[in-house]
Amino acid sequence: MLVVRPIAMSDYEALHTCAVESGYGFTSLPVNEEMLKTRIQHSEYSFAKLDVNEPSDEGYLMVGFDSDTGEIAGTTGIEAAVGWDVPCYSYHISTIVHSSRRLKVKNVVKLLTLGNNYTGCSEICTLFLRPQFRQGLNGRLMSKCRFLMLAEHPERFSKTIFAEMRGVSDEEGNSPFWQWLQQHFFSIDFSMADYLTGIGNKGFIADLMPKLPIYINLLSKEAQAVIGQVHDNTKPALRLLEKEGFVCRNYVDIFDAGPTVECDRDHIESIRHSQRLKVQVADHTSSQDYLIANTSFRHFRATAAKAAVSLENHSAILAPDVAEALGVESGDFVRVLAQ
């Protein structure tokens, strides 16, 4: 059984393994001991904060582990409000028309404009599931457990939830979009820029990034082709978010041009359809799968399991091993989502 819980410093080696396996372009998991440990410490601090009534600098990082072996299967996280301490940059794609009635010429062109439009918004991030665990409901659990947390504790998060999707790059970390920027504005390769961003060193962006809008038709054909496209490994995650109601509103990443998708928190499908039910611990014969999370924040737990749910009685019968994994007893509450 895969169980999601808040990360602890004892998980550092496993998180480092995830960072190595995630490869180039996974900015939120830099292969850097200091930054990974700092992120774990910040997550521990964030989960321990009490009486949080609005999103601030909190960052919540979680891991999924095999309840039988204890092996870490992957990681997932939420940043409560981005851009306050470290700038959150993105490109916005806009349209401009150049026309002349006298010459009977009309050209419609697109621009990339640098901005900080997601400042203060909550970001779902750092979703990585190791290859040997990519089966069954594990992927859904690692992604959607965050929506169960958002549903149960909305005061900790913003109205707008967004996710930056990994853009196109090859196995060596070469990004067609970045190669054009590098040629004209930078002197570092994509993997270095990605690494510097991952460790929080974003000053070079403000220093070197072009301040004026960029005409997309002036980019190389290779760069134009990948704007708004995702890495092959990211396509399943994007499809899942699109089913949840996330859409791209013409914002893309400044390094690899991967799309940023967003959704109003209360309109996310998993939040709308999740139910808060009272627990009864007992054996049952139900074959219906659910994603299930307890209602604790500091001791958050989530898993995918079968349950006997009665919406009329506002109850959920959980097998003893599932209840134990979630840290709940009869009379407690859980939030469930049918699969």
Which residues touch 135 (CB under 8 Å, ≥6 apart)? none
Average pLDDT over residues 172-176: 80
What is the CATH number for 278? 2.40.40.20
Classify residue 50 by its DSSP letter: -
Q: Which two tokens stand for residue 253?
A: 């990443």
Using DSSP bridges, classify how beta strands 308-310 and 289-294 pair: parallel, antiparallel or unpaired.
Answer: unpaired
152 and 289 housed in the same domain: no
146 and 279 housed in the same domain: no
In this structure, of 78-87, 93-102, 188-197, 242-251, the range with the lowest mean pLDDT score is: 188-197
31 and 75 housed in the same domain: yes
The angle that helices 33-48 and 12-22 make with each other, rounded to 10 degrees, is: 120
- 94-101, long-range: CB within 8 Å, 24+ apart, which pairs? 94/213, 94/250
Angle subtended at Cα 125 by Cα 265 and Cα 69, rounded to the nearest 5 degrees: 115
- How many domains does the chain fold into? 2
36 and 66 housed in the same domain: yes
**Domain annotation covers residue 97:** no
Residues 256/166, Cβ–Cβ less than 8 Å: yes
Mean pLDDT for the chain?
91
Which active-site residues does the annotation give? Answer: 231
203 and 121 housed in the same domain: yes
**Domain annotation covers residue 233:** yes
Residue 251's H or E segment, with its range, is strand 247-252
Beta bridge partners of 65: 3, 72
146 and 242 housed in the same domain: yes
Greater confidence, 302 or 198?
302
Percent of the chain past pLDDT 90, that is, above it, reads: 73
26 and 156 housed in the same domain: yes
For the beta carbon of residue 337, count every other beta carbon within 10 angstroms. Answer: 24
